[in-house]
A and B are shown apart, each in its own frame.
Chain A
Amino acid sequence: MVARARAGDLDAASTLLSRYQDVAYTTALRLLGQPSDAEDVAQEALVRAYTRLSELEQHASFPAWLRRITVNLSLNALRRRGLLHFESLDAEFSRDGMTSRDVANVRQPSPEEDALASVLRDEVDSLLQQLPAEQRVAVVLRDMYGYDVAEVAALQCCGLSAAKMRIMRGRAMLRRLLVEARVLSEGSGD
């Protein structure tokens, strides 16, 4: 599909973009918070992903690449709005040899798990939007999509310690919100 789209086949491009539009939209929405903004950025990301398809390495993952483009465009949008200002905690993700970016489709959940997961996802996504933009972006990139701290710092145009601080504060605030919403219990943890 990617090869056909790369050769200029617009039908293949249409199928490819339809298949992965949710990846772009979800990423943009988690970073930007507003559905209409997320749709605009996701659309731009899809156009850009197609027009730069020749830059995608042959065996690289299209959705991971699309997500990266979406992250960059979303951060640019936040920066333009003044919500992101210019200025390695650990290696937990790489310990098991895969990052959360590669975790997709490991196992198909049952319909019950799906329904529960969807409620949980909506709850967590809505709580994430209550975080200040800089902390939300840092937590989403680090904890959801497995970017390392250096990447988070580079994308946010800030130093390593500032990035660590944003991640730490974002996590703490999110945890408090999760506990208040009874998604997690106060003393939980093994």
Chain B
Amino acid sequence: MRGHVAGCMSCTQRVHRVRETRRLLRGIAEQQLHPQHDIAQRAVRRLQLRHKAIGNVNEVLAAVRTLIRSLAGFLGGESPLDPPVTLTRHDGDASHG
């Protein structure tokens, strides 16, 4: 193929044209255009809202958890102020020797 292209005037010209077009495009590839608006600031605002929303969801979840503990304490006759029972790995570890 390369041998044919090297010996054929028409193919050589076509290859040169392709290379020339590609060179031109590569030359401008890294030249950046500027947006009309500050999209980075908009993106950051969205990220801040998202962080805030996550914070709010965490607060709601914490409130629900407290409510459930209180209800469980009330129904089970325990004080809602009792500290929550935390699971330990002792049992599981012991079963594995």
Contact = CB atoms under 8 A, between A and B. Distances in A.
Interface residues of A, number: 47
Contact of B40 (A21, A92, A174, A190): A21
B21 A22 contact: no
Contact of A189 (B17, B30, B31, B32): B17
A189 B16 contact: yes
A96 to B, nearest CB: 11
A10 B48 contact: yes
Interface in B21-39: 21-22, 24-39
Interface in B1-53: 13, 16-22, 24-44, 46-48, 50-51
Interface of A: 10, 13-14, 17-18, 21-26, 29, 35, 38-39, 42-43, 46-47, 50-51, 92, 100, 103-105, 117-118, 120-121, 124-125, 139-140, 143-146, 171, 174-175, 178, 183-184, 188-190
27 contacts: A10-B44, A13-B44, A13-B47, A17-B44, A21-B40, A22-B32, A22-B33, A25-B33, A26-B31, A26-B33, A29-B33, A35-B36, A42-B35, A100-B29, A104-B30, A105-B30, A117-B27, A139-B25, A140-B25, A145-B29, A146-B26, A171-B22, A175-B17, A175-B21, A184-B21, A189-B13, A190-B16
